[in-house]
């Protein structure tokens, strides 16, 4: 038995809890809630999977983080590497990027239509060492593809963020971090589906009102659980029946009490 | 003056076999395959390989005879142009070791030796340098020295290898040759033989005035040049300012992967060419010729491969070519490949910071040329601000590697706008991040991260968060639209003014919607 354990440990198949601190190097995400739940921030390199519908603030969630990466590079090397958008769902707007203080010279956009091409381009960009982050919109992913991206990201010291629609086929992908996003009036509700070197945590809400006052309402603790459901007209009696289904609401109320 | 003449008796055959050696060996042809090259006009064999000789085929034999002697004979027509082109390639390579190269097409070269001896000390060193250039081509060659290019030619063409600067040795070698080996007209040769003269020694023993009465002036000219008494103007090789080379394939290639081997040869030649001149090139043009059916030698496919940084290394170019070839479908088997490069730039050298080093394997320019060659010019884009307040024109993409021809085909919609804007945008692009201080960033209006190329009608119910913000047309365009009248309607002008709102729909998506004056609502973008 002991021999077997040793062998497994040698093969790297056993993860021991004391490895937690040196596994993932993180950087400030710009949102205190996110930093708190993800042990200091988002990973410095690796593959991040984001399950979300488009247009609820998924890019806004990562903008401060990308900017932090960029500035860290500037501080260290006096020159920044590229940020790459691969197969974005619509035309990227330069004004938004300027607003986020991301210089346009550091952008590369690849408008490929075929998923295979997108993956190839992502791997090349990561591997090249001249891109610090690659944002990829891709629906289907296989385990070996993610592994290759991860390997490439390590080679080029870059981060790969993959945006997928929610409820995509849920394989156990070897990503560093997997998040599922849901829209809220004050920001985003985040479910951490997987976190390398971290314990599972409860769903939490990221307040984006400070950064984006025009797009969000001031967070109100009472309506944390609302979000999507508030837009659906549901009779009062049946609404009560809904409540236990949403775990966040129960927590919020218990916290208030 | 001492000359070295190099004769390549089977230049076409050898050049074909070089390409075979590098190709994956023996698809259809093995080493034991008999190959002959036939002069179509005379119907006689002019060049043949060792295995053909073994089977009894001889030079000047008819094709029918040869075919009856050897089974599975591989026959190629003799192409003088192909030999001459290859001769130029050789001259180009030799030019690096020798200054004056006189061309004797189709398959001979004469190098002027005496003025090179100052550099090489003695003849042996010089010949060694010449050998080192010729050997990689694996050609059958005869080297002969002579005190005139024509005497050296006579020796080399008589299949004699003679490296010597001593007049006596050369004269002795010459004297045993028969008059048949001289390059004179058939009639003059017969005249000389009728005089009872068989060897060159006998011919040279006669006084010139005696011969002049019997032979025509052309022959007399030649004989005096042979003796080195008179010099004729020779055509010397001059280095070219562009690179163009072809490879003829021994057999047809249908798989694009196999094409890489002959292409690599061409790229190595290009590398040597560029390295010698300290040049880089940004673009190479590969032409693939297919089997000459229909219009002979029509270019089958032409590939343009570009690199953002200038490259000279064959390895880098081969990488780009293989990416390009992966996307190319060969319509017919390829028999010939041509590589042509006309534009160069001096190699200024890349400046890398010694302390920062280079992190990855590639520079940005190398990465973008990699992407462009695989995905196409219109798919790898940069982004910049447009000089316009309307959202669809305020930011636009531009190809990272600017490529004139592709660019004009470019975007389908808004083409007219784009083209007029591009020139403005170039001057305007300085208003990017560098001039944007923090205060100006705060002043920028709230704009969505994604703009839909075609606004979609708003169908779902939304909650408006902020607005309205009115955006008007640019008056100058409105007047130009009016001026163009009917034509403008074809272009489907966007209707302005519009009132923009930020709104949230049932799924929680932040949309950028607008209302036209006609009260139609559209979604124009998303705040992702």
Structural domain spans, chain B: 1-33+72-238, 243-358, 377-439, 447-526
Dihedral, CA atoms, B476, B479, B485, B489, nearest 10 degrees? 50
Rounded to the nearest integer, the mean pLDDT of chain A is 79
Q: How far does B310 lie from chain A, in Å, by closest CA?
A: 18
Within-domain flag for A133: yes
CB pairs under 8 A between A and B: 188
Strands B142-146 and B3-7: antiparallel
Q: CB-based contacts of B168: which residues, under 8 Å, 6+ apart? A: none
What is the C-alpha to C-alpha distance for residues B290 and A129, in angstroms, rounded to an integer?
Answer: 40
User: What pLDDT is recorded for position A170?
Assistant: 65
Judged by a CB distance cut-off of 8 A, whether residue B428 touches chain A is no
- Give A-chain residues touching B395 at CB under 8 angstroms: 91-95
Q: What is the CA radius of gyration of chain B?
A: 35
Helix, strand or coil for residue A156? helix
Of B383, B396, B510, the CB nearest to A215: B510
What is the C-alpha to C-alpha distance for residues A85 and A136, in angstroms, rounded to an integer?
Answer: 6
Within-domain flag for A96: yes
Of A55, A217, A231, the CB nearest to B527: A55
What is the C-alpha to C-alpha distance for residues B106 and B8, in angstroms, rounded to an integer?
Answer: 9
User: What pLDDT is recorded for position B440?
Assistant: 52
DSSP B249-307: EEEEE-SHHHHHHHHHHHHHHHHHHHHHHTEEEEEEEEEEEE---SSTT-EEEEEEEEE
What is the C-alpha to C-alpha distance for residues B50 and B32, in angstroms, rounded to an integer?
Answer: 9
What is the C-alpha to C-alpha distance for residues B107 and B15, in angstroms, rounded to an integer?
Answer: 12
The 8-class DSSP code of residue A222 comes to G
CA B47 vs CA A68, B73, B79, B85, B140: distances in Å: 71, 13, 11, 17, 11
Question: Cβ B444–A99 below 8 Å, yes or no?
Answer: yes
Same domain assignment for residues A131 and A228: no
What is the C-alpha to C-alpha distance for residues B30 and B206, in angstroms, rounded to an integer?
Answer: 53
Contact B398, B384 (CB under 8 A): yes
Same domain assignment for residues A102 and A154: yes
Of B360, B395, B441, the CB nearest to A93: B395
Instruction: Give first-to-last CA distance, chain B, whole Å.
Output: 82
- Give B-chain residues touching A157 at CB under 8 angstroms: 359-360
Of all residues in chain B, the one with the smallest CA distance to A76 is B356
Within-domain flag for A252: yes
Same domain assignment for residues A121 and A39: yes
What is the C-alpha to C-alpha distance for residues B61 and B223, in angstroms, rounded to an integer?
Answer: 31
Judged by a CB distance cut-off of 8 A, whether residue B381 touches chain A is yes
Question: Cβ B360–A98 below 8 Å, yes or no?
Answer: no
Q: How far does B464 lie from chain A, in Å, by closest CA?
A: 10
Within-domain flag for A10: no
Within-domain flag for A140: yes
What CATH architecture does domain B243-358 belong to?
2-Layer Sandwich (3.30)
Within-domain flag for A4: no
Same domain assignment for residues A91 and A54: yes
Tokens of A100: 């986020």
Question: Cβ B508–A182 below 8 Å, yes or no?
Answer: yes
* Mean pLDDT value across residues A8-28: 71
Same domain assignment for residues A257 and A149: no
- Give B-chain residues touching A95 at CB under 8 angstroms: 385, 394-395, 444-445, 447
Q: How far does A172 lie from chain B, in Å, by closest CA?
A: 26
pLDDT 10s digits, A141-198? 888 889 889 988 988 889 999 999 887 666 678 888 899 998 888 888 999 888 877 7
B1-33+72-238 homologous superfamily: Reverse transcriptase/Diguanylate cyclase domain (3.30.70.270)
Same domain assignment for residues A142 and A209: yes
Within-domain flag for A3: no
Dihedral, CA atoms, B308, B309, B312, B318, nearest 10 degrees? -40
pLDDT for residue A110 is more than 90:
yes
User: What pLDDT is recorded for position A149?
Assistant: 92
Contact A80, A132 (CB under 8 A): yes
pLDDT 10s digits, A47-101? 999 999 888 889 989 999 999 999 988 888 777 889 999 999 999 998 888 888 8
A239: containing domain: 224-257
Q: How far does B370 lie from chain A, in Å, by closest CA?
A: 8
CATH number at residue A98: 3.40.50.300
Q: CB-based contacts of A255: which residues, under 8 Å, 6+ apart? A: none
Same domain assignment for residues A46 and A154: yes
Helix, strand or coil for residue B47? strand
Q: Most distant CA pair in chain B: distance in Å? A: 116
ipTM for this prediction: 0.76
* Mean pLDDT value across residues A10-24: 66
The domain total for chain A is 2
pLDDT level of residue A18 (50, 70, 90 thresholds): low
Cross-strand bridge partners of residue B283 = B306
Contact A27, A44 (CB under 8 A): yes
User: What pLDDT is recorded for position B26?
Assistant: 43
What is the C-alpha to C-alpha distance for residues B472 and B496, in angstroms, rounded to an integer?
Answer: 6
Within-domain flag for A7: no
Judged by a CB distance cut-off of 8 A, whether residue B364 touches chain A is yes
Per-residue pLDDT of chain B (528 residues; tens, 9 = 90+): 888 999 998 888 888 776 554 444 444 455 667 888 888 888 888 888 888 888 888 888 888 888 888 877 888 888 888 888 889 888 988 888 888 899 888 888 999 888 888 888 888 899 999 999 888 888 888 999 988 888 888 888 888 888 888 888 888 888 888 888 888 888 888 888 888 888 888 888 888 888 888 888 888 888 888 877 766 778 888 888 888 888 888 777 888 788 888 898 889 989 988 888 888 888 889 888 876 655 555 667 788 888 877 788 888 889 888 888 888 888 788 888 889 988 887 776 655 556 555 555 677 888 888 888 888 888 899 988 888 778 778 888 888 876 543 333 333 333 334 333 333 333 333 343 334 444 455 567 788 889 988 888 988 888 888 878 888 876 776 665 555 554 444 344 567 788 999 998 888 888 999 998 888 899 999 988
CA-nearest of B375, B432, B419, B424 to B400 is B375
């Amino acid at each position: 038995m002991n021999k077997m354990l040793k062998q497994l440990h040698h093969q790297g198949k056993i993860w021991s809890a004391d490895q937690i601190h040196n596994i993932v190097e993180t950087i400030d995400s710009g949102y205190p809630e996110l930093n708190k739940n993800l042990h200091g921030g988002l990973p410095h390199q690796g593959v991040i999977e984001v399950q979300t519908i488009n247009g609820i603030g998924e890019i806004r969630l990562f903008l401060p983080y990308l900017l932090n990466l960029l500035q860290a590079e500037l501080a260290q090397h006096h020159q920044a590497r590229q940020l790459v958008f691969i197969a974005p769902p619509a035309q990227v707007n330069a004004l938004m990027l300027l607003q986020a203080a991301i210089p346009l010279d550091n952008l590369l956009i690849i408008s490929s239509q075929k998923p295979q091409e997108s993956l190839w381009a992502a791997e090349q960009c990561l591997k090249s060492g001249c891109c610090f982050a690659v944002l990829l919109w891709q629906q289907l992913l296989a385990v070996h593809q993610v592994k290759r991206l991860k390997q490439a990201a390590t080679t080029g010291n870059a981060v790969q963020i993959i945006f997928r629609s929610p409820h995509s086929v849920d394989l156990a992908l070897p990503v560093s971090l997997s998040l599922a996003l849901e829209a809220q009036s004050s920001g985003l509700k985040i479910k951490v589906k997987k976190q390398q070197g971290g314990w599972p945590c409860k769903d939490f809400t990221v307040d984006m009102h400070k950064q984006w006052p025009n797009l969000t309402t001031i967070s109100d603790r009472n309506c944390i659980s609302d979000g999507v459901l508030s837009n659906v007209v549901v009779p009062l009696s049946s609404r009560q029946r809904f409540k236990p289904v949403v775990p966040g609401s129960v927590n919020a109320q218990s916290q208030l009490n | 003056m001492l000359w070295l003449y190099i004769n390549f008796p089977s230049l076409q055959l050898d050049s074909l076999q070089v390409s075979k050696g590098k190709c994956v060996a023996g698809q259809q042809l093995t080493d034991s395959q008999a190959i002959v090259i036939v002069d179509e006009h005379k119907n006689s064999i002019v060049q043949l390989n060792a295995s053909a000789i073994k089977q009894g085929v001889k030079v000047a034999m008819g094709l029918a005879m040869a075919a009856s002697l050897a089974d599975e004979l591989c026959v190629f027509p003799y192409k003088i142009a192909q030999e001459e082109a290859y001769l130029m390639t050789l001259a180009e390579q030799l030019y690096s070791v020798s200054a004056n190269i006189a061309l004797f097409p189709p398959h001979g070269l004469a190098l002027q030796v005496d003025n090179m001896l100052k550099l090489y000390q003695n003849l042996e060193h010089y010949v060694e340098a010449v050998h080192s250039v010729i050997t990689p081509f694996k050609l059958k060659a005869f080297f002969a020295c002579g005190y005139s290019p024509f005497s050296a030619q006579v020796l080399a063409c008589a299949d004699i290898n003679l490296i010597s600067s001593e007049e006596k040795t050369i004269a002795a070698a010459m004297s045993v040759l028969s008059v048949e080996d001289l390059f004179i007209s058939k009639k003059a040769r017969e005249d000389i033989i009728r005089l009872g003269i068989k060897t060159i020694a006998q011919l040279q023993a006669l006084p010139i005035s005696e011969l002049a009465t019997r032979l025509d002036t052309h022959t007399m000219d030649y004989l005096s040049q042979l003796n080195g008494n008179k010099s004729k103007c020779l055509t010397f090789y001059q280095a070219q300012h562009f690179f163009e080379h072809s490879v003829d394939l021994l057999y047809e290639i249908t798989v694009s992967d196999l094409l890489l081997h002959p292409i690599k040869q061409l790229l190595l030649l290009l590398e040597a060419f560029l390295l010698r001149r300290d040049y880089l090139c940004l673009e190479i043009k590969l032409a693939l010729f297919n089997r000459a059916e229909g219009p002979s030698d029509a270019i089958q496919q032409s590939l343009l491969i570009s690199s953002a940084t200038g490259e000279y290394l064959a390895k880098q170019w081969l990488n780009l070519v293989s990416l390009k070839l992966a996307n190319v479908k060969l319509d017919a088997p390829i028999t010939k490949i041509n590589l042509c490069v006309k534009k160069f730039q001096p190699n200024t050298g890349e400046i890398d910071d010694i302390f920062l080093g280079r992190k990855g394997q590639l520079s940005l320019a190398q990465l973008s040329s990699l992407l462009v060659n695989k995905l196409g010019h219109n798919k790898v884009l940069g982004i910049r601000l447009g000089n316009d307040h309307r959202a669809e024109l305020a930011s636009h993409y531009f190809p990272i590697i600017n490529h004139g021809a592709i660019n004009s085909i470019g975007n389908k919609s808004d083409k007219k706008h784009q083209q007029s804007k591009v020139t403005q945008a170039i001057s305007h692009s300085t208003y990017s991040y560098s001039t944007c201080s923090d205060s100006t960033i705060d002043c920028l209006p709230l704009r969505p991260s994604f703009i839909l190329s075609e606004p979609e009608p708003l169908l779902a119910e939304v909650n408006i968060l902020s607005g309205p913000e009115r955006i008007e047309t640019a008056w100058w365009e409105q007047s130009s639209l009016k001026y163009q009248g009917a034509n403008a309607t074809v272009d489907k002008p966007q209707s302005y003014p519009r009132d923009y709102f930020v709104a949230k729909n049932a799924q929680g998506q932040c949309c950028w919607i607008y209302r036209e004056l006609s009260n139609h609502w559209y979604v124009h973008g998303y705040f992702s």
